[in-house]
Amino acid sequence: MKHILLISTKDRSGLIYQVSKILHEAGLNIEKNDEFVDRDAMIFFMRTQIAGALDEKWILATLQNALDKDAHITLKPMAKKSLIILATKENHCLGDLLLRYDSGELHAHIQAVIANHNDLEGLVRRFDIPFYCVESSDDRQAHEQALTDIIDRYCPDVIALAKYMRILSPMFVARYAGKMINIHHSFLPAFIGANPYKQAYERGVKIIGATAHFVTQDLDEGPIIAQDIIKIDHTFSWQDMQKAGRNVEKSVFAHALDLILHDRVFINGNKTIVF
């Protein structure tokens, strides 16, 4: 059995020694180890992949005892996570995840897809995955309650907004803080908000891009997980940009999700650390 140990704590000397000592004494082998110190905030981050049978409680208690009281310590089995996908009408990010799921490549169980339109129902059902349509309505609170009812039935580890084109309330976002990721169709912080391709067309840029980020209360302002771009030229209409952009949207989103599903991402204030 393999586990992932995640630690973030105030930086001081000897942390790697202390952690590796405890793991060593527990007879565990460190297969892969990554550390980083944020020198502005003086926070130490560590992700350790451990092999060997372990007593989870003992490890956590011993580590908590050795490190600072307020150290964040998590120990998780290396296993597929449960995933809910939210979408609207576009099939490319969602479909890409469904294909990866179908081939066994996705490190997750897709529990359900929820959309605010029913355009994607056929696609999702083809893959034998539950599909829920929760149509947008003027009563945002009722709408989000309906979403929450479905989501909480599944207790997902991760919620992936695969081009879910509706703004979510701070209350909804707070409920799933640190679990919900989004794909924005521009290289943030450029072109925040609606129709970034039209904005890009009007500005006459020579690159377009996509940004996967955690969802926070400020629209398009959450911690960035991954970004990439493609080059364009003057012959691209904004519809051409949109078409070309889908390729980078889906690859960035799938990559960011893969990182999340392997516990390779720490949130550090408004930034991420990606091991």
Binding to a copy of itself in span 23-42, by CB under 8 A: 23-24, 28-33, 35-37, 39
Residue 273 structure tokens: 């650390």
CB closer to a copy of itself, 128 vs 138: 128
Closest among 262, 272, 263 to 215, alpha carbons compared? 272
Question: How far is Cα 117 from Cα 86, in angstroms, rounded to an integer?
Answer: 11
Task: Scan for tokens 């490549």, then name that residue.
Answer: 105
- List of residues 6+ apart from 23 with CB closer than 8 A: 5, 30, 48, 50, 59
Q: Select from 86, 132, 209, 259 the one that contacts a copy of itself (CB under 8 A).
A: 209
Active-site annotation holds for 220 = yes
Hey, which bits of 102-222 come out as E strands? 108-115, 131-133, 158-161, 180-184, 207-214
Which residues face 46 on adjacent strands? 7, 35
Backbone angles phi, psi at 62, to 5 degrees: -65, -45
Euclidean distance between CA atoms 244 and 247, whole angstroms: 6
Distance CA(82)–CA(70), nearest Å, equals 28
Told to check if 82 binds a copy of itself by CB under 8 A, we report no
Assess 76 for contact with a copy of itself (CB under 8 A): no
Nearer to a copy of itself by C-beta: 148 or 199? 199
Amino acid at 85: I
Residues in 90-109 at the binding interface with a copy of itself, rule: CB under 8 A: 90-92, 95-96, 99, 102-103, 105
Residue 206 touching a copy of itself (CB under 8 A)? yes
Stretch that binds a copy of itself, among 62-70, 79-87, 133-141, 235-243 (CB under 8 A): 235-243
Q: Which is nearer to a copy of itself, 170 or 189 (CB)?
A: 189
The catalytic position among 220, 228, 240, 258 is 220
* Choices 70-78, 137-145, 160-168, 267-275; region in contact with a copy of itself by CB under 8 A: 267-275
| 3-class DSSP state of 210 | strand
Question: Residue 156 interacts with a copy of itself (CB under 8 A)?
Answer: no
DSSP code at position 243: H
Q: Give me the residues that bind a copy of itself (CB under 8 A), please.
A: 13-14, 16-17, 20-21, 23-24, 28-33, 35-37, 39, 90-92, 95-96, 99, 102-103, 105, 123, 126-127, 187-191, 203-207, 209, 223-229, 231, 233-235, 237, 243, 246-247, 251, 254-255, 268, 270-274
